[in-house]
Amino acid sequence: MILEGRGLTVHYPNAAAAALAGVDAWLRAGELVAIAGPNGGGKTTLLRALLGAVTLTSGVAKVAGRPLGSVPRAELARIVAALPQREEPAFALRVAEFVQLGRYAHLGPFTPVGAKDRALVRDTLERCDAWELRDRTIDTLSGGEWQRVRVARALAQAPRALLLDEPTAALDVRHTMELLELVRDLVSGGLGALVVTHELNLAARFADRVILLAGGTVQAVGTPSEVLTESTISRVFDWPVAVTTWNGGTPQVVPLRRDEHTK
Amino acid sequence: MNRRLGLIAALVLASAILGLSLGAVSIAPGEAWRALWDPAAPYAPIIRELRLPRVLLGFLLGGTLAVSGASLQALLRNPLADPYLLGLSGGAGLGAVLAIALGAPFAWAVPAAAFVGALGAVALVYTLGRTSSGRLEPRILLLAGVVTSGFATAIMTALMVLSNAAELRNAFLWLLGGLGRASWQSLGFFVLWIPIPLAMLFTAARSLDLLALGEETAGYLGAEVERVKRRVVISTALLTAAAVAAAGMIGFVGLVVPHAVRRLFGPLHGRLLPLAFAVGGALLVGADAIARVVVRPIELPVGVVTALIGVPVFAVLLRREIR
């Protein structure tokens, strides 16, 4: 078990309701877990809670079996790489420098960036199909290039788990599929991946397990076929849907038009 | 890259030669060099007692301001941050004017009062910028700095209007910044004061790289974000307050130099901080040399010269960034 949260409860100051209320979630090596659910349902908060980036009102979050509070940030960064949804660097680094920042958790404050680090940077950039971008500055990248470069930096941390918050939100079909295929490959190689996404149909095709969050609580959890049913999705998103299957089993959700469900 | 490093070395050397040669009395570089080593040389007293400490203090001051500016720009994720931003300018001015209004002796009381005022203002800004959970909120820090400085400046202005001491003009000139009071003694104070806060910033170089990406990302990449932020605010405040005490408020070095160095050498702080120190030092020594000779025998406040050089350079950099 790489990440484990039990009874995670988060109450933001000045908020009436808890953002997260008694949620259990975990991530093992070699599995891809999707966190889905309506806007404001607690997806990002769950990710942050598992990373110790928000103060827990109650509950316990553990990484590699140890309570998060006892793990220094640099050590955590060697186990888990996380990409928040938005990131706005203040200065225009070159892509290779940017990816190299992923190595800092492995280096002391003065250890020079060595040949091994550079080789790893090159390796991760190649794996993300971004090596040719290495001399560009990050403010010149397109949305798809930017996401690939960020994933490369996350991989440069040499983590055991990858946490991605809506990584495909700004991507077109091809870049979305490429990114998720890459994540799937990494998972086959033994990495654990937790992906927050709005795209139920992609979750259905790529995830081993889906956690459906709404109102800060888990509405359903299980394989895509168990979670993505007409009744559950209609209820949780408060909108009628039909569920069909693709390729002999993978559920695919079709939201209904108004005249389609009044019939 | 090596050619650019050579350029910086040449810049430092050139500024040192200018700083030793130019002044009320012009001294040829060769003569100045002899006077450095030979106490009996013709210009030895001027070089050894006046210009050498002045050049050294100028270099350390310029470097300190540039490093403080670079660090604050990363912390606030704002390329327009300068070392006086967190309330220091207003606090230092109020301290200096207050000391004079109270009739304290100029020589030591004004720098001391400016130092205390600057640190007091930062302390206030620091308190205002802390959330209930003890986090430092950069956006609030910035605003708190602006309002604290504004408030202190208002009191300072009131004091200046109400009192009519002739010394107030001197206080005002002093605040504009100048190395005219540089001596081995003021150099000594400064040299003893800066190593620890400077080391605190240099050792945080990698954390600053991460912090510039945003706090959440910095944390995920392994930075102890709150600790770094505290360290940067406290270290830059200690450095800048000491710089103000040594030579008044010299503007634009801390703002422009980090920009220029970032443009030439990239934004990674392991390289940026030491190079900004060298360039900032050279710029201030050179500007001081110019300040001494443009309207001889009157010395312009060096802050005026750095502004006259810095503002156009900054405007050009800014236009390029916007484009």
Q: Closest Cα to residue A87, out of B263, B80, B219?
A: B219
Which helix or strand (DSSP H or E) is residue B160 part of? Answer: helix B138-162
Of the pLDDT bands very low, low, confident and very high (cuts 50, 70, 90), residue A161 is: very high
CB burial readout B257-276, b (16+ within 10 A) else e: bbbbbbeebbbbbbbbbbbb
Judged by DSSP in three states, A82 sits in: strand
Quick check: B205 and A107 CB within 8 A? no
Phi, psi torsion values for A243, nearest 5 degrees: -120, 125
Give per-residue pLDDT as tens, A172-211: 999 899 999 999 999 999 999 999 999 999 999 999 999 9
Q: Are B35 and B41 in contact (CB under 8 A)?
A: yes
Other CB atoms closer than 10 Å to residue A69's CB: what's the count?
Answer: 10
Whether the per-residue pLDDT at A224 is higher than 90: the answer is yes
Contact residues on chain A for B216, CB-CB shorter than 8 A: 53, 84, 87
Quick check: A91 and B78 CB within 8 A? no
Distances (CA, A) of A94 to A108, A154, B81: 22, 16, 23
**Average pLDDT score over residue span B87-109:** 83
Of the pLDDT bands very low, low, confident and very high (cuts 50, 70, 90), residue B323 is: low
Quick check: B212 and A89 CB within 8 A? yes
A91 vs B133, B225, B267: nearest CB:
B267
Quick check: B203 and A82 CB within 8 A? no
Closest chain B residue by Cα to residue A162:
B220
Give per-residue pLDDT as tens, A105-158: 999 777 888 999 999 999 999 999 899 999 999 999 998 899 999 999 999 999
Q: Closest Cα to residue A228, out of A255, A253, A191?
A: A253
Per mean pLDDT, which range of A122-136, B36-50, B141-155, B249-263 is the poorest? B36-50
Interface of A with B (CB under 8 A): 13, 51, 53, 55, 72-78, 80-84, 87-94, 97, 101-102, 104-105, 107, 109-110, 153, 157
Contact residues on chain A for B221, CB-CB shorter than 8 A: 77, 101-102, 104-105, 153, 157
Q: Closest Cα to residue B289, out of B12, B41, B65, B58?
A: B58
**In DSSP terms, which residues pair with A23 in a beta bridge?**
A8
A104 vs B77, B221, B267: nearest CB:
B221
Q: Which two tokens stand for residue B301?
A: 């406040």
Quick check: B73 and A55 CB within 8 A? no
Sequence-distant (≥ 6) Cβ neighbours of residue B260 within 8 angstroms: B279, B313, B317
Whether the per-residue pLDDT at A36 is higher than 80: the answer is yes
Contact residues on chain A for B73, CB-CB shorter than 8 A: 90
Give per-residue pLDDT as tens, B17-51: 999 988 888 888 888 888 888 888 888 888 888 99
Whether the per-residue pLDDT at A69 is higher than 60: the answer is yes
Q: Are B260 and B47 in contact (CB under 8 A)?
A: no
Per mean pLDDT, which range of A139-143, B258-262, B315-319 is the poorest? B315-319
Residue type at A55? T
Contact residues on chain B for A107, CB-CB shorter than 8 A: 206
Contact residues on chain A for B79, CB-CB shorter than 8 A: 90-91
Q: Are A154 and A162 in contact (CB under 8 A)?
A: yes
Closest chain B residue by Cα to residue A107:
B206
What is the secondary structure of A106-138 as a DSSP string? Answer: GS-SSPPP-HHHHHHHHHHHHHTT-GGGTTSBG
Contact residues on chain B for A44, CB-CB shorter than 8 A: none
Distances (CA, A) of B246 to A239, B179, B184: 69, 8, 12
Measure the CA–CA gap between A47 and A37, rounded to whole angstroms: 13
Closest chain B residue by Cα to residue A74:
B222
Contact residues on chain B for A138, CB-CB shorter than 8 A: none
Predicted local distance difference test score (pLDDT) of residue B78: 86
Q: At what angle do helices B253-265 and B52-75 cross, to 10 degrees?
A: 70
**Average pLDDT score over residue span A225-230:** 95
CA end-to-end span of chain B, whole Å? Answer: 25
Which helix or strand (DSSP H or E) is residue B211 part of? Answer: helix B205-211
Q: Distance from A63 to chain B by nearest Cα, in Å?
A: 13
B222 vs A84, A88, A104: nearest CB:
A104
Per mean pLDDT, which range of A221-235, A240-254, B229-243, B289-303 is the poorest? B289-303
Q: Distance from A263 to chain B by nearest Cα, in Å?
A: 48
Q: Distance from B162 to chain A by nearest Cα, in Å?
A: 44
Of the pLDDT bands very low, low, confident and very high (cuts 50, 70, 90), residue A221 is: very high
Quick check: B217 and A84 CB within 8 A? yes
Cα angle value A9/A213/A14 (rounded, 5°): 45
Reported ipTM: the value is: 0.94
Quick check: B221 and A105 CB within 8 A? yes
Whether the per-residue pLDDT at B174 is higher than 90: the answer is no
Predicted local distance difference test score (pLDDT) of residue A32: 97
Predicted local distance difference test score (pLDDT) of residue B322: 67
Q: Distance from A91 to chain B by nearest Cα, in Å?
A: 6
Judged by DSSP in three states, A33 sits in: strand
Predicted local distance difference test score (pLDDT) of residue B52: 93
Q: Distance from B267 to chain A by nearest Cα, in Å?
A: 6
**Half-sphere exposure of B273 toward its Cβ, with a 13 Å CA cutoff?**
23
What are the start-end ranges of the E strands in chain A?
3-10, 20-27, 32-36, 58-63, 66-67, 80-83, 161-165, 192-196, 209-214, 217-222, 241-246, 250-255
pLDDT > 90: what percent of chain B? 52
Residue type at B140? I
What is the secondary structure of B21-32 as a DSSP string? Answer: H-SSS---HHHH
Give per-residue pLDDT as tens, B59-69: 999 999 999 99
Interface test mutation site (partner B, options A73, A136, A150, A163, max chain B beta carbons within 10 A): A73
Judged by DSSP in three states, A20 sits in: strand
Give residue for tokens 């996401």. Answer: A147
